[in-house]
Amino acid sequence: MKRMMAAMTILYPVAANAEQALSRPLGRAARAREARTVAGEPVSFATEPVGPGFATREAALQAYRARLEAPEADERYCRLVERIAAEPGKPALLAPVKPAFKDGRRWPAPPASPPRTVWRLMVSFWRPRSAPAAAAPQARVARKAAGELDRETLNAMARAPLRPVEPQQPLDIGLFETRLPEAPHIVVPDD
């Protein structure tokens, strides 16, 4: 059983960016603890697109077949995803749609033509914390680090998806419970 589990473990590259993860990683690690040892500093898990966008899945599969169909299970840290194609000067997101509430339907009819999409190779890897992230930092982190930010940085942050600063922890008390200030280890009902 232990040998079977070892064969299913994916060894993610430890690298500063996705390009380096494909070409010359610092090493490989399955867990953050192992990646921290390889990098010599704390690491974070990242998934980033690499290379050009392809119009069809078949074209992307043909270009990256060796990466995607690796015979060893520990080499499977790449995958193909379909993304909305970004037009120059515009974000690659769809505008929000307002409910219509007409003719018994809540949402309006979909657009006549769907948005143009491309297929991209996504690489998952361990990034050392000292390496710069590819995306713009979150606003709450950037505000604490620096006072005034330039317009381009603010626009990049506004277009970036929200990412948690740290993984959400499970609640240890209920919604209508509170900890006593004089004894924080005791949880009592809140009236």
The DSSP code sequence of 34-88 is HHHHHHTS-EEEEEEEEEEEESSHHHHHHHHHHHHT-SSGGG--EEEEEEEPPPT
Distance CA 11, CA 16 (A): 16
Alpha-carbon distances, residue 53 vs 82, 91, 113, 121 (angstroms): 9, 16, 20, 8
φ, ψ of residue 119 in degrees (nearest 5)? -100, 130
Note the pLDDT tens digit of each residue in 65-108.
Answer: 888 887 676 678 899 999 888 766 666 566 777 888 888 888 88
Cβ atoms < 10 Å from Cβ of 15: 23
* pLDDT at res. 28: 93
- Average pLDDT on 20-40 reads 93
More confident position, 166 or 63: 63
Neighbouring residues of 154: CB distance < 8 A, sequence distance ≥ 6: 139
Percentages (nearest 5) of helix, strand, coil residues in the chain: 25, 25, 50
Instruction: Answer whether 84's CB lies under 8 Å from 21's CB.
Output: no
- In this model, does residue 176 exceed pLDDT 60? yes
